[in-house]
Structure 1
Amino acid sequence: MKFRALMQDPMYMREFQAIVATLAKLAKECIMILGERQMHFIVNEDQSSTSSPLVWASIAAEEYFPEYRLETARPDQDYIVLSMSSANLSRALSVLRGGGISSCKLKLQRIQFPCISVIATVSSSAVTEDREVVHDVPVSIIPASDWSAYVVPRVPNSQLALCLPSVRLLRSLIDKLKNISPSLEFQASYDGELSVIATSEMSTVTSRFQRLVPRSLTGSEEGASCSVDSRKASAFFGALQLPNEEMTIAIEREQSIHLQIYVRQDVVLHSILPAVCM
């Protein structure tokens, strides 16, 4: 069982670090699924917290890694599945935020324990030779017999999706609305309007985003709505470390809300907020 990947573009390295930093703010543990062409990170709802949403990232290997090699334990297996501390991985990758990093290698190896080694090469004009900064992140290798418990979540069959041009505005709004109501209702219409509604015993607050770009999927033109836990919504938006402003909000009527941030064409951060009973 072997894995090795190499990043060399500073922008891609910072994006990769920001994705992992986002996950680390949401849960203590994460699952890393290494496939032949894709890498996935999954953080499930933290059992110790009722406000932690389901979040995962899917990364096409060719987007970030000019070198990406995977060798599974058996020829009939397509993946390597690892469990690790998201905080430890985030700390190991934090070196990528600085300047002078010419490359970063990720390598699965066994020292005294199985680990993902993060090996960053630092170049400096002050010295003639590059130096390496190495962090070994302990991992647990999930046996194939348990893989069914660690699958990439299914994207919901949403009736309507809207493209929101500013994550920042919605993040600020939800941070305020969570103090008004334990749940938030999202209503989307085919004419490109998104309403976020918080209701309490004393008042109802409705905020509207208009002239959004709709992506109708299935169903009639009645639009779609769903109420979700305001703390889970706030936790997701508060954790975001990515600079991307655009987000797609897809609503599966009365079932869930699917949030998507396209970091790149084949690099996507997802979150599913399940419906709550009203």
Structure 2
Amino acid sequence: MAKLAKTCTLRLTTTKLYFILSEKVVNGGIAIWCELTQGHFFNEYNMDGYSEEFNEIYLDLTPDNLLRSLKSSQNAKSIKIKLTKKHAPCLTFEVELPSLSSNSRLVTHDIPVNVIPHRLWDDYKEPDMPDFDVSIYMPPLKLLRSVVDRMKNLSNFVLLSANQRGQMKVKVQTDLVTVTTYFNDLDHPTWRRDDSQSQEDRGSLQRDPAQFAEVHVDIRKLAQFLSSQQVNPLKVICNIVDNRIAHFFLLHEDVSLQYFMPVVST
């Protein structure tokens, strides 16, 4: 998140944590929804939210500040995270570090946060899964990142296209050169669709498997997204709504992340 956004929202519930970035996709912004199960990360977890009915907390913060606190705590014996109020609301990290003596050292980091009032929570709902035209498992991200890093020296935009026959193309085109990288034999996930959907809504199910769906996206945003992936996801799904949006779904045993990237005009 620190590589993808200067600020984000941290949503805390009794069972999960969410990192959320919700820019206006229609205006060229990106949207991110990252979900973590708290039981995978904490030995003890207690929270008291807005109310008994709405037992949640929403905080605006700078992820880079959070990253620095965690990096400095890599050798810690224990870390306790608390929401405190000092000069302003803070996420306070109480870090117990090993010492040469029998006593441990306690280091405290205070990260300023902004508590989001309940009336604004609806602005941070999980994005809807797009009614995609093509859904495909992506090639290894390290390989794709290498391709995109080379292409970004040629153009500001990249054409990403795929079909249901396991084919994906990554292409840049200028007045002087056209470069295309092909990936074949990629698997595609099987999604269960609601039987109540109309025929129009299920258009992607009737789509010719050989027909490509495509999106033009900002190549630097795509490169930034690929370079930020350090969680080593088990699988990455790319959903494409033809000429509208690219939706990336990263699956990991501890983390799931959705990344929405809008198309750009070329």
TM-score range, shorter chain: 0.7 to 0.9
Correspondence for 1:3: none
Correspondence for 2:16: 38
The partner residue of 2:76 within 74, 77, 101 is 101
Contact map agreement 1:101 1:123 (CA 8 A) in 2: yes
Change in 2 beyond 3 A, CA 1:168/1:101: same
The letter for the 2-side match of 1:175 is D
Correspondence for 1:175: 149
Change in 2 beyond 3 A, CA 1:245/1:72: closer
Distance 1:51 1:174 in 2: 20
Contact map agreement 1:32 1:82 (CA 8 A) in 2: yes
Distance 2:247 2:187 in 1: 16
Distance 1:68 1:155 in 2: 30
1:86 equivalent in alignment to 2:63: yes
1:249 equivalent in alignment to 2:223: no
Mean alpha-carbon deviation: is it higher for 79-88 or for 253-262? 253-262
Mean alpha-carbon deviation: is it higher for 26-35 or for 241-250? 241-250
Contact map agreement 2:161 2:168 (CA 8 A) in 1: yes
- When you count strand as a share of all residues, which structure comes out higher? 1
Root-mean-square deviation (CA, aligned residues, Å) is 2.5
Output one character per residue of 1:89-136: Cα deviation in whole Å (capped at 9) or x when no partner.
Answer: 11111124x3x3233222111122211112233235x33233333211
Following TM superposition, by how much is the alpha carbon of 1:234 offset from its aligned partner in structure 2, in angstroms?
1.7
Contact map agreement 2:166 2:187 (CA 8 A) in 1: yes
1:189 equivalent in alignment to 2:189: no
Correspondence for 1:70: 47
SS in 2 for 1:192: coil
- TM-score of the superposed pair, with normalisation by structure 1: 0.80
Change in 2 beyond 3 A, CA 1:35/1:254: same
Correspondence for 2:85: 110
Contact map agreement 2:50 2:118 (CA 8 A) in 1: no
- TM-score of the superposed pair, with normalisation by structure 2: 0.83
Larger radius of gyration: 2
1:119 equivalent in alignment to 2:94: yes
SS in 2 for 1:237: helix
Change in 2 beyond 3 A, CA 1:160/1:107: same
Structure 2: where are the runs of 5+ without partners? Answer: 192-203
Q: How many residues align?
A: 250
Contact map agreement 1:53 1:233 (CA 8 A) in 2: no
Change in 2 beyond 3 A, CA 1:251/1:89: same
Change in 2 beyond 3 A, CA 1:173/1:52: farther
Identity of aligned residues (%): 28
Distance 2:189 2:242 in 1: 15
Distance 1:152 1:33 in 2: 11
The letter for the 2-side match of 1:152 is E
The letter for the 1-side match of 2:246 is I
Change in 2 beyond 3 A, CA 1:154/1:102: farther
The letter for the 1-side match of 2:214 is S
Contact map agreement 1:167 1:246 (CA 8 A) in 2: no
Distance 1:263 1:159 in 2: 24
SS in 2 for 1:101: coil
Distance 1:270 1:70 in 2: 26
